[in-house]
Amino acid sequence: MLLWPTVALLGGIGLLIVSADKFVEGAAATAKRLGLPPLLIGMLVIGFGSSMPEMVISALSSLQGNPGLALGNAFGSNITNIALILGLTAVISPIVVGSSVLRRELPILFMITALVASLFYYDRKLDRIDGLFLIALFLGLTIWAIYAGIKTKHDLLADEVAQALRIPLSLKTALIYTGVGLVFLVISSRILVWGGVEIAHYYGISDLIIGLTIVAIGTSLPELASAIAAIRKNEPDLVLGNVIGSNMFNTTVVLGITGVIAPTGLETDILYRDIPVMSILTIILFFVAYRIRGASVGRINRIEGGFLLVIYVGYYINIAFNTLT
């Protein structure tokens, strides 16, 4: 009977969206109250914090013996972040990239994606050594982000974060938001994972497909809502910073935790469908947003946003076709 798994899946996604939003809002306000510079809040708290749902879900999935769901969640979220979130927001309003910090982060995201792809193609597995390496890589990125944030005196991303936090919560309220948001993140993730796994088993669908589709889209909805809100407030660098930070976190910490908890071999679909699509989207993002031709700012226009959406739709049509045949 699928009634309760379906309720759990949909209810888990709804609760996840609310709890993730409150967690990030509380964490950002807490950092603001504690005197953390706006640039670091944008790079660390908002960028990495928005991927907490993916991290919690992947950890729970791995602990319960469903690493396929964890992997699908990580790769699917990265694909959704670039193709759906940036694509849709660019169609609504072209994204102008003026932050010098983000222009430095784009090549790093590109290199991390290439490194992880090479790592997985080498032995076609994600083991504990790989996981520890990816987590160590994240720690290195965090140190770099702190250094870049301290060294950079003025940046458009910092201005947009400061604008977004113009009316901060009190420290007490911010801490409550952070703590309660984190607790419900875990609860909602556990409910969502259970519902997703039950539905997958009922229909004979792999955990990977559930992770790539329903779970990945569900965990990316908070980023989508934040992106649309940021575009309406004319904060384009905050949108891109959120996506870059989230994808870095997914590619290092989320995959790293999965490897440490539940080492697993990589399915053929991951190697020849999901990783290539994620890599191609990252390359496209690098070229359209970085503008290596010498422009002082990058720009993702409506045509490029529409192209990203076409890739996104085509990717999921391919998944649906292969799943049903």
Q: Is the predicted pLDDT of residue 290 greater than 70, yes or no?
A: no
* pLDDT score recorded for residue 259: 96
Higher model confidence: residue 217 or residue 98?
Answer: 217
Give mean pLDDT, residues 63-88.
93
Helix (H, G, I), strand (E, B) or coil at 165: coil
Percent of the chain with pLDDT over 90: 40
Confidence (pTM): 0.89
Would you give the DSSP letter of residue 66? -
Are 38 and 150 a contacting pair, CB within 8 Å? no
pLDDT at 85: 93
User: What is the DSSP annotation of 218-274?
Assistant: HHHHHHHHHHHHHHHTT-HHHHHHHHHHHHHHIIIIIHHHHHHHS-EEPPHHIIIII
Check whether 237 has a pLDDT greater than 60.
yes
**pLDDT tens-place string over residues 137-187:** 999 988 887 887 777 767 777 777 877 777 678 989 999 999 999 999 889
Distance CA 127, CA 256 (A): 9
Phi, psi of 210 (to 5 degrees): -60, -40
Domains plus CATH for the chain?
3-324 (1.20.1420.30)
* Cβ burial, residue 265 (10 Å; 0-12/13-18/19+): exposed
Better pLDDT: 318 or 169: 318
pLDDT digits (tens, 9 = 90+) for 10-46: 898 889 888 888 888 898 899 888 888 887 787 778 7
Q: How far apart are CA 278 and CA 248, in angstroms?
A: 12
Between 80 and 185, residue with greater pLDDT: 80
The yes-or-no verdict on residue 309 having pLDDT over 70 is yes
Considering only residues 267 and 154, tell me which one the structure prediction assigns the higher pLDDT. 267
Percent of the chain beyond pLDDT 70?
96
- 318 or 235, greater pLDDT: 318
Beta strands in the chain (DSSP E): 95-97, 125-126, 264-265, 298-300
pLDDT class for 291, splitting at 50, 70, 90? low
> Comparing 131 with 161, which gets the higher pLDDT?
131
CA atoms of 290 and 274, how far apart (whole Å):
24
Residues 209-218 pLDDT 10s:
989 988 888 8
Work out the mean pLDDT of the chain and round it to a whole number.
87
**Residue 293 pLDDT:** 47
Give the model's pLDDT for residue 112. 95
